[in-house]
Structure 1
């Protein structure tokens, strides 16, 4: 009898216990018949935290108002109801709370509670496996999951929801810096532990940078904060008000250049009506996936080369209060924004020297005591530092997504193998589908994918 024959068996396995994985588990538990065995596999507990919600810092806010953050499309006020029942913000009435940007720490607790409630009300059995998955191997009418500790688990169907991977610091010598000299932006305790008196260089100017600055400020940081990125664009704020009133459907028939012209025209019209440009972005928000998928492959490449960073700062906006903090720091000179690309870092005693290409062919030279890597999410499937993803690609069970982004999937989320054939037992949700969908990171997309993934897994395992 082989080791595989001894492996415990479950009907369904969900790999990844962040927001996407937990939402999938909730839907599966709510729909399952008696006796179903479900495994939720996650190495880093507690559940539902992932990267976005792992912070316990009160100043790290959701990037959209609380009223838009329900984990369930059919219960749009669910997160708001949770906050009201918790009395998390007793000074705010319900309408004000719906418009408020609340601390992200509440969201993981919300999903954890909803998972416990689903588990208590389900006829199925949920097993939490505190481990990683290093390999997926077809076996008979199911799959064999090799865990990080070397043991195995068999499952009838699998959902892969492993979440985001941080890009490595893109500079020679980065790995030679000490732990005090090089800090990852997603390591929230390490950022908070930075000496308030030192000068810091934050590489990257997106949402992770904003989190790092908020943490440093809360710690009474006195040193200079240098921020370096290729375009030197800081995140833009949300604005009060609803969506602009125009029909966005004609955009789908346009090429990339025509769309950009059309959006600028809509922004001018909105301004003439007394609306902010943000109202235009809010109007097209529900069409995010359709806008990407209706572009030609050539226009998608042009977008990735020339437009993506400008799109990101307009699309992925931050709470007005956080934006105000960034602006105040710039005005008093404590936050200094540099346009450039770092190519090398080196330790010089207690200091770190950074060199790179600056604006208009100039060279950039900085000296600080600490470098924070805030370069954001790694999107290239083959560059993600995840043993499972590397095994899937190497074995031919998976192939990179369009333009090398994430993994390639069928329209329903089934994993496509090296030949483009959908795997009948493996479903992918979340950030790994960016190449195919583009909009596949935020809760409005994750909650829909999670519901669909649960239905698909139950059907594939013969357990409707």
Structure 2
């Protein structure tokens, strides 16, 4: 039996690929803290205006079947094409459907869905997971498919229930679209989704968005140009040499960068591995935001909505950082540090949209693994240290035989590891490893919480 911690795309695709492999698959128990099995954070949204940031042709859940999503959509009477950007909630339905289809041949409970928060893990020949409510789950192997972490806590914000610490937590935006202005800290993809939702909920809502660079995501071209593979020097690689190669390619194409970024994307893990540790850190501090803006683009329809909001004054983007925020009457007084000097905003709500926290020890499960020496952070502190096959490394650098991870926890090791095209490849490879492991153990049995 395999315990999967996390019910989002990473965990779902791992189970799906194992169930589709042929032969008797492992049994799975999928543990999700919010009970959003098959959806996770990304695809649990109910707002139909939240669209996938990749076109349908790239979003098949099945690694060796690129047309799987489109066949599913058409089988349900949806008038969708390969170049459409589908609603994320529809993609969540698709993932649930794929999981149900994969488990259908195994009517005796091949997948058990469990709602709960895993707070500890004792590795060993039979790993044991401890849940916050006191239950335990014993397994042959464990997959940490925990996805992106919530944003970091803000001790300098004292705004009571006017503050939203995690915009993707269930019910986080309930009552926020009341027409009062909203300050969103962060100007990436999450901010775009929040601005679309909040301004759509009330015609008077104005969104102020602030970040250090004040950069918004770029948008996809339609139609998309085919990816271009640019020459990269062989052998040892430096960040400076990589940047020169990219700039030369963009200049040679007359400034057209979309195809070059798309051609680089599948090569990022291998290029990242070739960079010295110091250059990786320099990239994170100097260039990462610019890569993210061009790499994680928004659909044309969403881009048009953003431009409309900016033109009407309902989305106002600022460069700067949040110095403090305190409750003030029926709202929040926010103080910003901007290039022009201190700036005050009075808003009804403030939302933390700064992206995943890198303080790993605030997570009870990860903290327990680090404290016991069962795991260690990757060298950059972005996630878990792991072997190439996803086996988690202990404090001494030894790979576990029964503890694995994939997706966002591998960001420090692969950098590009948060989107479906990368995750489904990792899930397919891990599914094969898990099937071999549980077959060897001879103890593949359904886990029951104790």
Question: What is the TM-score with the length of structure 1 in the denominator?
Answer: 0.89
Residues 66/379 of structure 1: CA separation in 2 closer, same or farther (3 Å cut)? farther
Task: Give how far 1:153 is off.
Answer: 1.9
Distance in 2 between residues matched to 1:379 and 1:426, nearest whole Å:
21
**Offset from partner CA, 1:48-106 (integer Å, 9 cap, x none):** 21111110111000000011100112001111111111123x3x5xxxx1101110001
Distance in 2 between residues matched to 1:303 and 1:270, nearest whole Å:
24
Query: Following superposition of structure 1 onto structure 2, how do residues 176-255 of structure 1 map, counting pairs within 5 Å?
Result: 176-182=158-164, 184-187=166-169, 189-191=171-173, 193-239=175-221, 240-250=223-233, 254-255=237-238
Task: Give how far 1:308 is off.
Answer: 0.8
Secondary structure at the counterpart of residue 184 of structure 1: coil
The residue aligned with 2:48 is: 58
The residue aligned with 2:241 is: 258
Q: Confirm whether residue 138 of structure 1 aligns to residue 136 of structure 2.
A: no
Distance in 2 between residues matched to 1:287 and 1:181, nearest whole Å:
39
Query: Following superposition of structure 1 onto structure 2, how do residues 146-165 of structure 1 map, counting pairs within 5 Å?
Result: 146-165=130-149
Residues 80/291 of structure 1: CA separation in 2 closer, same or farther (3 Å cut)? same
1:432 is aligned, of 398, 405, 409, to 409
The residue aligned with 2:16 is: 26
Distance in 2 between residues matched to 1:82 and 1:34, nearest whole Å:
25
Distance in 2 between residues matched to 1:181 and 1:40, nearest whole Å:
31
The residue aligned with 1:268 is: 251
Residues 44/359 of structure 1: CA separation in 2 closer, same or farther (3 Å cut)? same
Query: Following superposition of structure 1 onto structure 2, how do residues 116-135 of structure 1 map, counting pairs within 5 Å?
Result: 116-122=100-106, 125-135=110-120
Task: Give how far 1:189 is off.
Answer: 4.6
The residue aligned with 2:448 is: none
Secondary structure at the counterpart of residue 254 of structure 2: helix
Q: Confirm whether residue 114 of structure 1 aligns to residue 98 of structure 2.
A: yes
Decide whether the 8 Å contact of 1:27 with 1:451 is kept in 2: yes
| 103-112 vs 364-373, which moves further | 364-373
Task: Give how far 1:246 is off.
Answer: 4.3
1:328 is aligned, of 299, 308, 312, to 308
The residue aligned with 2:345 is: 366
**Offset from partner CA, 1:424-459 (integer Å, 9 cap, x none):** 110111111101111110001110111111111222
Distance in 2 between residues matched to 1:46 and 1:87, nearest whole Å:
25
Secondary structure at the counterpart of residue 129 of structure 1: strand
Residues 246/409 of structure 1: CA separation in 2 closer, same or farther (3 Å cut)? closer
Matched residue count: 439
Secondary structure at the counterpart of residue 285 of structure 1: helix
Task: Give how far 1:244 is off.
Answer: 4.7
Decide whether the 8 Å contact of 1:248 with 1:284 is kept in 2: no
Secondary structure at the counterpart of residue 191 of structure 1: coil
Q: Confirm whether residue 347 of structure 1 aligns to residue 332 of structure 2.
A: no
Residues 109/424 of structure 1: CA separation in 2 closer, same or farther (3 Å cut)? same
Task: Give how far 1:197 is off.
Answer: 2.5
Q: Confirm whether residue 73 of structure 1 aligns to residue 63 of structure 2.
A: yes
Decide whether the 8 Å contact of 1:347 with 1:353 is kept in 2: yes
Q: Confirm whether residue 47 of structure 1 aligns to residue 37 of structure 2.
A: yes
Distance in 2 between residues matched to 1:35 and 1:330, nearest whole Å:
52
The residue aligned with 1:6 is: none
Question: What is the TM-score with the length of structure 2 in the denominator?
Answer: 0.92
Distance in 2 between residues matched to 1:61 and 1:14, nearest whole Å:
27
Alignment RMSD (CA, Å):
2.1
The residue aligned with 2:354 is: 375
Residues 459/358 of structure 1: CA separation in 2 closer, same or farther (3 Å cut)? same
Decide whether the 8 Å contact of 1:192 with 1:215 is kept in 2: no
Task: Give how far 1:12 is off.
Answer: 1.7
Secondary structure at the counterpart of residue 462 of structure 1: helix
Distance in 1 between residues matched to 2:227 and 2:145, nearest whole Å:
34
Q: Which runs of 5+ in 2 are unaligned?
A: 442-450
Distance in 2 between residues matched to 1:190 and 1:61, nearest whole Å:
19
Q: Which runs of 5+ in 1 are unaligned?
A: 1-10
Secondary structure at the counterpart of residue 139 of structure 2: strand
Residues 148/326 of structure 1: CA separation in 2 closer, same or farther (3 Å cut)? same
